[in-house]
Amino acid sequence: MARAAPSRPHGEKQASSEGPGLILPKQQFLSAGMVHAPEQGNMIEESHKRSASYGLKEDSQPDYTPLPKSDLTIKVDLNRGLFTHAVPVMETLYEQIINTHNMVILTDAQGVILHAMGDDDFLEKADRVALLAGVAWSEQSKGTNAIGTAIAEQAPTLVHADQHYLTANHFLTCSAAPIVNHQGQLIGVLDVTGDQRSFHKHTMALVRMSAQMIENQLFSAAFDDAITLHFHSRPEFIGTLMEGIASFSASGRFLSANRSGLFQLGLPLSALQTHTFSSLFGMPLSALFDHYRPVAPSLINLCLHTGVRVLGRAELRRPNMFFQSGETEAPARVERGPARKDTQSEDSAAKRHRLSSLHYLDTGDEKVAALIKKVNLVMGRDIPVLITGETGTGKELLAQAIHNDSPRGSGPFVAVNCASIPETLIESELFGYEDGAFTGARKKGSTGKILQANGGSLFLDEIGDMPLSLQARLLRVLQERLVMPLGSNKSIPVNVSLICATNRNLRELIAKGAFREDLYYRLNGLVVRLPPLRERTDLETVINKLLAAESSDQQFTVSAEVMGMFKRHNWPGNFRQLTNLLRTAMVMAGPDRIVSLEHLPEDFLDDVDMNAHKTIAAPVNAEAVIAGPARLEDVELLAIQKALKEHNGNVSAAARALGVSRNTIYRKLPA
C-alpha cells in the first residue's frame, strides 16, 4: 500500500516528476491531454479553497456511506441513457489499461458513482476510500478530487497524489473528463483512478477520448431521425473522434452539434440555434439531397460561414428525405441507378443482404443477443471491432452484417483471410503495387485490398496469422489513414471501417512475441466472442433459418429424431459443418422435403457413433419390463441399450448384432 505523502502548502509545485507524492508541473499536465483545461495549478489552488469553504479538514475522515440500494437504482434509471452508452466504452477503456492498478468509474452530474470496474489488486485499496457504486465524490463531500473538480470546473481534470485535499486520498491519482449531452449540459463524469505510483501521462488522453466517444453516441441517439452531417477540413478525420457532427431538422433548421462541431463552426450553441443548413454551409438543402441520389456518393464539398472549406458525409435517416412531398413510398437507401434487366440477380442480392443483417442473426440466444446489442452501440462510430471465436462460428457473416447495417452499408465490403494468402504475397495484396514494383507485377499495377475498401469496411480474417513484419505497416495505415503501394513514393488517403476476426488467443501471441501489442490495442476497440454451436440455445431456430436460406422455392423441415440428434451433437465444425450437412441432406431428401436419418451423410453418422454413449438416455428398468405387462417399445429400447453397452456405444456394431439398420436404432432412442 502506498503511504500518503506529507502535506505541503497549497499551490506549491515540485519540479521533479519522480517519486511518490509529487505535484506535476504545468507542462506535464498539458502534455497529458489537458489542452482545453484551465491552468492546472490555478485549478487545484481554487479547488482547495472551495474545499476549505465547505468546512472540510485535510486530516478529517471522509463520509464513505453509499446511497441505499433503492436510491442507487433510481439514480441509474434516471441516467439510463448515459449508463447504456457509457458501459461499453468503459469496458473498452478498461481493456486498454488493464493490469495497471487502475479502475474505470462513471458518475452522474452530482458525482455519485453509477458504475465501476477495475483490477483485482487495486479494488482492495479502492474499498478503503469507497470507490463504489452509490458513493458521492463531489468536492463538497471529498474535497479536491478529479471527479468533483471536473464537475466544478466543467473541464478535464487530473488530480495526483497530495493534490487531493483529503490526506486519506493522497495515495490516488485520478484523471476525469466531464460528459455533456447534446444541449451542452453536464450529465456525468468518466474517470480513471489508480495507485499514484502507477501514474501515466497518456491516461488523461484516453479518458478524454472515451468521454468524447460517449458524447458522440449520446448525440447520435438524440437525433436518430434528423439530417446529420459529419464534417472536417481533412477527409481522413471524417469517421473519427476529430470529426464535427451537426444535426438539422427536415426543413434544414439547426438542432445541435458535438464539441468538435461547435469548435469548427466557431459559434456557441445559443448563436447556432438561429442558423440553418444553408446559412452555415453555403448550400441549399435540396442540393444535399441531390448529392445523395447516386448509389455510392462521394464526400460533399462545403464552405463554412467562416470561409473555411470542409468535406462532409450526411446521414439522411427519415424514409422520405430524398423525395418531394408527393413521393413517399421508397426508403432513403434505395438504389437509384439504371434499372437492371436481370431481376433474378437483383432478388438474390437483396436476399444476401437480408441474410447478412444483425436482425437476421439474432435468433434467440442470450449471448448472441448481448453481442448484437454491443455492436449496435458502437456502429458507425469508427470503433474497430474484433470478433473472436472458434473456427466455423460465423465470424465473417457477423462482419458482413455489421457492414450492411452500418452507415457504410452502401460502400464496399472487402474481406482478406490473412491465413490463406502466402506470406510472400500478402503485402502486395493488402497495400497494392505500382507498375514494375517487382518481377511478375502486372503492367498497370494493382489496387490493394485496403484501397479497394475505401469508403466501406475492411475485414481482416485470421488477423492472428498476419506476418509480424506486416503488422507495423498495418498499424501505420490505421493511425495515419494513408496507404503507400509497393514501388510508390506517394501516400494515398484511405477511409475504412475496420473489422477483424481470429480464433487464436492474441494475448498469448503477444507474450510469445508473435503479435504486436500496439497493434492489438489499436484493433480491440470492441471485442466480441461468438459462442460455438454447442453452447447456443437457439439451435432449432438456426436450423430452420438455414433450411429456408438454402432452399429457393421449397420449404424443408427436419424430422424429430434428426433434430434430437442435432441437439445432442457437439458440432466441432460449428456452422460450417452444420450448413454443409444440411445442404447435402436437402439434396438427398429431394421432393420429400423432410430431412430424415437416411438423408444424413455417413461421416456425420460415424461421428455420432463415436459419441453415442454421451447421448443415450437413462436405461429402462429391466425388472419393471420383465414384471410386465411390458410395452413393446420398452422391450425394444432395453435390447438396444444392452447391445450398445456391449459394443461400447458403437451404433453400427449394435445394429449388426440386433439385425436391424443403424437408422432404426436412432429412431428408437429417445431425443
pLDDT digits (tens, 9 = 90+) for 199-230: 887 889 899 999 999 998 898 888 877 889 99
Within the chain, which residue ranges are assigned CATH 3.30.450.40? 26-197
| pLDDT for res 662 | 66
Confidence of residue 424 (pLDDT cuts 50, 70, 90): low
| pLDDT for res 215 | 92
Confidence of residue 386 (pLDDT cuts 50, 70, 90): very high
Among residues 416, 491, 496, 421, the alpha carbon closest in space to that of 453 is found at: 496
Task: Please check whether the domain covering 535-668 is classified as CATH 1.10.8.60.
Answer: yes
Determine the 3-state secondary structure of 425 from DSSP.
helix
For 478-491, what is the mean pLDDT?
A: 83
Write down the pTM of the prediction.
0.47
Domain 223-316 CATH (choose: 3.40.390, 3.30.390, 3.30.450, 3.50.70): 3.30.450
Helix 80-97 vs helix 366-378: crossing angle, to nearest 10: 90
Using left for φ > 0, alpha for ψ between -120 and 50, and beta otherwise, residue 181 falls in beta
For 30-41, what is the mean pLDDT?
A: 46
More confident residue, 322 or 484: 484
| Average pLDDT across the chain, whole number | 78
Q: In this predicted structure, which of 25-39, 324-338, 368-382 has the lowest mean pLDDT?
A: 324-338
**Is the pLDDT confidence value at 187 over 90?**
yes
| pLDDT for res 123 | 72
For 24-31, what is the mean pLDDT?
A: 36
| pLDDT for res 648 | 73
pLDDT tens-digit profile of 581-605? 888 888 888 888 898 888 887 777 7
Q: In this predicted structure, which of 10-24, 173-187, 590-604 has the lowest mean pLDDT?
A: 10-24
Contact 671, 567 (CB under 8 A): yes
CATH superfamily of this structure's domain 352-531: P-loop containing nucleotide triphosphate hydrolases (3.40.50.300)
**Is the pLDDT confidence value at 76 over 80?**
yes
| pLDDT for res 554 | 66
Q: In this predicted structure, which of 62-76, 309-323, 331-345, 458-472 has the lowest mean pLDDT?
A: 331-345
For 40-55, what is the mean pLDDT?
A: 90
Give whole-number Cα distances, 452 to 429, 455, 483, 496, 520, in Å.
10, 9, 11, 9, 23
**Is the pLDDT confidence value at 16 over 70?**
no
pLDDT tens-digit profile of 297-342? 678 889 988 888 999 888 875 444 443 322 322 333 333 333 333 4
Within the chain, which residue ranges are assigned CATH 1.10.8.60? 535-668
* CA 284 – CA 277 distance, rounded (Å): 7
Highest mean pLDDT (candidates 89-103, 449-463, 577-591):
449-463
Q: In this predicted structure, which of 154-168, 329-343, 519-533 has the lowest mean pLDDT?
A: 329-343
pLDDT tens-digit profile of 249-302? 888 899 999 999 999 999 988 899 889 999 999 888 888 887 776 655 678 889
Region 26-197: CATH code: 3.30.450.40
**Is the pLDDT confidence value at 44 over 60?**
yes
Query: What are the b/e assignments for 347-377, b being 16+ CB within 10 Å?
Result: eeeeeeeebbebebbbbebeebeebbebbeb
Query: Could you tell me what percent of the chain has a pLDDT over 70?
Result: 78
Alpha helices by DSSP H, listed for 230-309, are: 259-265, 269-272, 277-281, 285-291
**Among positive and negative, which fits the CA dihedral 46, 50, 51, 57?**
positive
Within the chain, which residue ranges are assigned CATH 3.40.50.300? 352-531
| pLDDT for res 586 | 87
| pLDDT for res 527 | 92
* CA 624 – CA 70 distance, rounded (Å): 56
Q: In this predicted structure, which of 9-23, 146-160, 202-216 has the lowest mean pLDDT?
A: 9-23
| pLDDT for res 428 | 81
**Is the pLDDT confidence value at 124 over 80?**
no
Q: How far apart are the first and last CA of the chain?
A: 58
| pLDDT for res 670 | 61
| pLDDT for res 198 | 81
Q: In this predicted structure, which of 198-202, 340-344, 430-434 has the lowest mean pLDDT?
A: 340-344
Chain centroid to CA 669: 44
**Is the pLDDT confidence value at 32 over 60?**
no
| pLDDT for res 167 | 93
Total number of residues shown for the chain: 671
pLDDT tens-digit profile of 603-631? 777 666 665 544 444 444 444 444 444 45
**Is the pLDDT confidence value at 443 over 70?**
no
**Is the pLDDT confidence value at 52 over 90?**
yes
pLDDT tens-digit profile of 544-589? 888 887 776 668 888 888 888 888 888 888 888 888 888 888 888 8
* CA 151 – CA 595 distance, rounded (Å): 64
Among residues 233, 395, 206, the alpha carbon closest in space to that of 304 is found at: 233
For 365-387, what is the mean pLDDT?
A: 89
